[in-house]
Copies of this chain bind each other. A is one copy, B any other.
């Protein structure tokens, strides 16, 4: 068994373009962004509503998957640390977790705050915060 196929359910539409200058975490000045869902998941989206606190799961498609150790944050001269102890996007399965709040909704488009994922990032799941 080699793996499982993750199928994107939508995309991030954001003013953030360059991963090098994007905030590392949503609460560090990340902008509002839209989640644009595919029509085939309309039934999964329909009960999301303004004010909901959700976790957006993304596939960090620009990340490297062959990195197992790296430096923490911008401490480029620090000893390398295993990526399971870091939030670095570079990791074997580059899944992003983004806690956000829904600010607006229009059909298949959902506006959220504090999203540090760059424009075009695939969305793979949405879960309510519990």
Contacts and interface: CB of A to CB of B under 8 A. Distances in A.
A95 interface: yes
A85 interface: yes
Interface size class of A (residues with CB under 8 A): 35 or more
B128 A85 contact: yes
Number of copies: 2
Chain A interface mostly helix, strand, loop or mixed? mixed
Interface in A42-85: 42-48, 52, 54-55, 57, 59, 61, 68-69, 81-85
Interface stretch (A6-14, A15-23, A111-119): A6-14
Contacts of A9: 92-93
Contacts of A25: 130
